[in-house]
Amino acid sequence: MDLNFTPEEDEFRIKVRRFLEENIPKSGLGDGREGREDKAWLARAKEWQRKLYEAGYVAMAWPKEFGGQALEPVRQSIVNDEVVRAKAPYLIGGSGLGMLGPTLISWGTEEQKKRYLPKILTAEEIWCQGYSEPGSGSDLASLRTRAEIVGDEFVVNGQKVWTSGAQYSDMMFCLVRTDPEAPKHRGISYILIDMHSPGLTVRPLVQMTGDRGFNEVFFDNVRVPRKNLVGKLNEGWIVANATLFHERNMLGSASGSEQRFNRLRALAKSIQRNGHPLSEDPVFRQRLADLQIRVEAMRLHAMRQLTDQIRGRQPGIEAMINKLVGTELNHDLATAAMEAMGDDSMLARDEPSVVDKGYWPYEWMFSLGLVIGGGTSHIQKNIIAERGLKMPKSR
């Protein structure tokens, strides 16, 4: 594992830092609620991603012919580090950038890459993920949404649930059952669905955060062109796992944990206990040290993944480790903040006297959901044990 940057990479880092200092939007995008639907907020979020892309800082490793720059992944890693350092807003097109885009580059047709990748980069089209269904969460392969082939189209009927961002998305990458007689991991296909299609209904769900960022999505004879199939018919499970690999890395991002830890440390400095900042309390300092060690371990784990990527090594179970350790770490960071705030942690986000803009109560609830979403911790432990440690399957 190489922990050093070249002089050119250090120079690039300074350039990125200056850009962020001069261009981070002042509109409060970083504190926007997950369920925001208003067009003005959406337009600002898209504008921020487009500005970052035009500066050359989005999906830098993607092929040039599809809007990328074909650069070494270390450049994108530097950008990600600086985005965390600057507390810049997350990108509205994260699902397209982090999950579908890399999947299409590996599995899509040339026509699909030309059609979809450039609009993912510019946030012209926002994507959501159509995986989970009622009764098919952790056991994803048991999904029942059907797609029958009629002429040159799939006709889709069924329901998806917990679909983040569906309320403002333009497209969905979706798993459907195309052969109901096949074993459950077969007979599944991976298709791309226009969210504005006739027969498609989005119904927001109220989460424990009070937001409406999750959704139910209903399909009533929704027609999808056959050219929107990714990979082979009935072999979508292989493509789905490629997307899951990228999703798990995204959910357990070391940069995200580092950003939360920095915010927790600032909070501890702002709270007074016995006449001194809480950050000077020996018991809480010990807790901060423990959390910082875990954050640093995740950062080094991310650098090991980056080294493997640069050297062309095949990924193993690292993404599952990211998902398992990263999401639980994020919830522990939020728990420490809640306990540090004491009774103030009970204030609603809109209360005038709320601490740190009400970020931590929201984050505590939201991060708990991510321990479950994208495959629960229990599922990740099973995969790590069986595929990574080669332990026998339970009976």
Q: Is 258 a catalytic residue?
A: no
Which residues on adjacent β-strands are paired with residue 216? 203
Cα gap 292→277, rounded to integer Å: 18
Q: What residues have CB less than 8 Å from 376, skipping those under 6 apart?
A: 138
Angle made by CA atoms 319, 166, 24, in degrees to the nearest 5: 70
Query: Which amino acid does the sequence have at 185?
Result: H
Could you identify the residue written with the tokens 């077969």?
Answer: 186
Rg from Cα positions in the chain:
22
Q: Which of 82, 133, 247, 328 is catalytic?
A: 247
Burial class (CB in 10 A: 0-12, 13-18, 19+), 392: exposed
Do the Cβ atoms of 240 and 248 come closer than 8 Å?
no
In the numeric block, which tokens belong to residue 50? 């487009």
Q: What residues have CB less than 8 Å from 106, skipping those under 6 apart?
A: 242
Catalytic positions, written as ranges: 247
